Amino acid sequence: MTARSLFADHALLPGGWARDVRLDWDATGRLTAVQPGATATRGIPRAEGPVLPGMPNLHSHAFQRGMAGLTEYRAEAQDSFWSWRSLMYRFALRLSPAQLEAIAFGLYVDMLEAGYTSVCEFHYVHHDTDGHPYADDAELARALLRAAARAGIGLTLLPVLYQTSGFGGAAPAEGQRRFIRSTDSMLRLLDALRPACDAQGARLGLAPHSLRAVPPEALRDALAGLAAQDATAPIHIHIAEQTQEVDDCLTWSGQRPVAWLLDHAPVDARWCLVHATHMDADEYRRAAATGAVAGLCPTTEANLGDGLFDLPQWTQGRGAWGVGSDSHACVDVAEELLMLEYGQRLIRRQRNVAATAAQPEVATAMWLAAVAGGAQASGRDLGGLATGQQADLVVLDAAHPVLAGLEGPQMLSAHVFAAGRQRPLAQVRVAGRIAVEAGAHPLRAEAQRGFVQARRELLTGGA
Ligand SMILES: [Zn+2]
């Protein structure tokens, strides 16, 4: 029998760093005891470095990993999110179920090696290439479930409701044909997916794509239908990624998107506001007070030229937040945190902006906040190293040259701010089970082969 315990010289608990921590979990992978000041016992494995809570990735479009790095050239006089999106649509229109599964499997293996132990999949490619439902309407969602199960990563599946191409009920564009669903068909899809999600411990939620893609009646009906199925299910929405989107929402409703949402939907702690990038002071204050999580995707938001979220304004209102790798131009927890903090430093001309009174170590403060917010957005018990939470763990490699000789908190700082593109992770566990050992996932070679083949097919038009 494999041990269901681990001894850590340093572990990052929800309240901060603790020494000599013994962690125990049960057969389902739930922590049953977290005991600081324990004595190392023979037979209990000793972690090779500081133990961190595994990071939930709160925003992913898995298929976009296949086009990472392929849109870094100038196609228009002034490239923007919108020119990137047209390239992304061309890619999405070719994708087969087998290619999606191969890309997602490769991505999820990468995520585990990067310290993400679970992922919220914002899944919007539903139909076949002609825009017709597959014989099994859940075909592509099931491909994601299989990819996650095979990689061993936790999953919150968020099928996306997408109906219009702009505010005011504008008809969908031809390039959006694989995304479009009626509200009823979405609720049937959720019903159909529930047994498979339950069987692998995945959480099922709903993602109204954005206010530009979901008219008010559809939003209202979908939320009511979801609540009838599961009153606590997570709800994610892209809310204010682009200034163009804010302007269009103002033209349509006289309100900015976040203000409109807060006035017309029951936003609360079930919600994740993805890319709440463009808010005024009133929206920051009101949205934070709802208990919703701000879904921040710093490297994607930088890559797409979206704009900067004002983290201190959000945390002043006690707003919760977490991070996602979104378009997967970058798949690395440390880089998301670094990019988030550096954006704040550059705009404020200050340092250690995300540190708090309780946590002056900025990497520690950020890691804990992102785990708590990510867990809430995932709708799963992923809230860190505490009894009752899932044993999702990341063990830093204390012998790695970037970390060797440092203390626990310094090792996390070095991992986030000084590792460059090196990755000093020794082990990653999901629900207590080892997913990554000596920095590598056991299925890495197979996952990479499948990913490369699927990408080649998509780029050359083969199948
Ligand atoms: Zn997104």
Q: Is residue 387 part of a domain?
A: no
Q: Is residue 280 part of a domain?
A: yes
**Known catalytic residue: 397?**
no
Residue 363 pLDDT > 90: yes
Residue 1 pLDDT > 70: no
Domain residue limits at 426: 5-52+403-437
pLDDT band at 118 (very low <50, low <70, confident <90, very high): very high
pTM (two decimals) = 0.97
Q: How far is the CA of 327 from the centre of ligand 1 (A)?
A: 7
Neighbours of 300 (CB within 10 A): 24
CB-based contact 372:383 (threshold 8 Å) = yes
User: Which residues have CB under 8 Å from 315's CB, separation 6+?
Assistant: 321, 354, 356, 369
- For residue 80, what pLDDT is reported? 78
Q: How far is the CA of 461 from the centre of ligand 1 (A)?
A: 25
Task: Give residue-wise pLDDT tens across range 295-313.
Answer: 999 999 999 999 999 999 9
Of these residues, 24, 110, 306, 326, which one is catalytic?
326
Statement to judge: residues 171 and 195 lie in one domain: yes
Q: How far is the CA of 197 from the centre of ligand 1 (A)?
A: 21
Statement to judge: residues 60 and 41 lie in one domain: no
Q: How far is the CA of 316 from the centre of ligand 1 (A)?
A: 25
Statement to judge: residues 70 and 33 lie in one domain: no
Statement to judge: residues 189 and 81 lie in one domain: yes
Q: How far is the CA of 128 from the centre of ligand 1 (A)?
A: 21
Quote the percentage of the chain above a pLDDT of 90. Answer: 93
Q: How far is the CA of 229 from the centre of ligand 1 (A)?
A: 24
Task: Give residue-wise pLDDT tens across range 9-40.
Answer: 999 999 999 999 999 999 999 999 999 999 99
Quote the percentage of the chain above a pLDDT of 70. Answer: 99
Question: What value does the mean pLDDT take over residues 184-208?
Answer: 98
CB-based contact 416:338 (threshold 8 Å) = yes
Residue 90 pLDDT > 90: no
Q: How far is the CA of 36 from the centre of ligand 1 (A)?
A: 39
Task: Give residue-wise pLDDT tens across range 372-405.
Answer: 999 999 999 999 999 999 999 999 999 999 999 9
Statement to judge: residues 242 and 278 lie in one domain: yes
147 or 460: which leads in pLDDT: 147
Of these residues, 238, 275, 415, 441, which one is catalytic?
275
CA distances from 183 to 177, 215, 287 (A): 15, 11, 26
Q: Is residue 160 part of a domain?
A: yes
Q: Is residue 463 part of a domain?
A: no
pLDDT band at 71 (very low <50, low <70, confident <90, very high): confident
**Known catalytic residue: 275?**
yes
